[in-house]
């Protein structure tokens, strides 16, 4: 009976040792995961800052519209053709007057040498 107790005690001792090893592995994994999460958070913050910087740089540029803006579609199917032609001519005249001509010369206003970019 004493030998059975000694055998069982030895088995329990080995089981506890295996549990300790497993807990150590879980702790290492948790630490690694924590470090990776911190690195990801730092990378995300860097990407956010880079994105904001790029948006600020791109926001300096404006595009000229080459097409005249169209009036919103309305239910004008009941209007006479002559009145529709007058409305279209008026809209074209207004958009032609408001169109800005292209400016010749350098558009490099910030002085950092992006004019030839």
Contact present, 99 and 68 (Cβ < 8 Å): yes
On whether residue 39 sits in a domain, the answer given is yes
On whether residue 66 sits in a domain, the answer given is no
Cα 74 to Cα 37: distance, rounded to the nearest angstrom: 54
pTM: 0.40
In the numeric block, the tokens 């579609």 are attached to: 73
Structural tokens at position 35: 């470090």
Domain count, the chain: 1
On whether residue 17 sits in a domain, the answer given is yes
On whether residue 102 sits in a domain, the answer given is no
On whether residue 88 sits in a domain, the answer given is no
CB-based burial, 83-115: b 16+ in 10 Å, e otherwise: eeeeeeeeeeeeeeeeeeeeeeeeeeeeeeeee
On whether residue 82 sits in a domain, the answer given is no
Contact present, 117 and 108 (Cβ < 8 Å): no
Per-residue pLDDT of the chain in tens (117 residues, 90 and over written 9) = 888 899 999 999 999 999 999 999 999 999 999 999 999 999 999 999 999 999 999 988 887 777 766 665 656 677 788 888 888 889 888 888 776 555 555 555 666 665 555
Cα dihedral 37→39→41→47 (10° resolution): -140
On whether residue 104 sits in a domain, the answer given is no
Residue numbers of the domain that contains 35:
1-61
On whether residue 29 sits in a domain, the answer given is yes
């Amino acid at each position: 009976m004493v030998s059975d107790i000694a055998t069982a005690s030895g088995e329990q001792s080995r089981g506890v040792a295996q549990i300790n090893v497993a807990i150590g592995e879980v702790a290492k994994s948790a630490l690694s995961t924590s470090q990776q999460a911190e690195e990801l958070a730092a990378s995300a913050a860097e990407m956010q800052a880079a994105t904001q910087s790029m948006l600020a740089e791109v926001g300096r540029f404006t595009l000229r519209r080459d097409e005249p803006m169209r009036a919103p579609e309305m239910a004008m199917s009941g209007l006479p053709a002559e009145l529709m032609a007058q409305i279209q001519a008026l809209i074209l005249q207004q958009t032609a007057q408001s169109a800005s001509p292209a400016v010749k010369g350098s558009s490099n206003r910030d002085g950092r040498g992006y004019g030839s970019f």
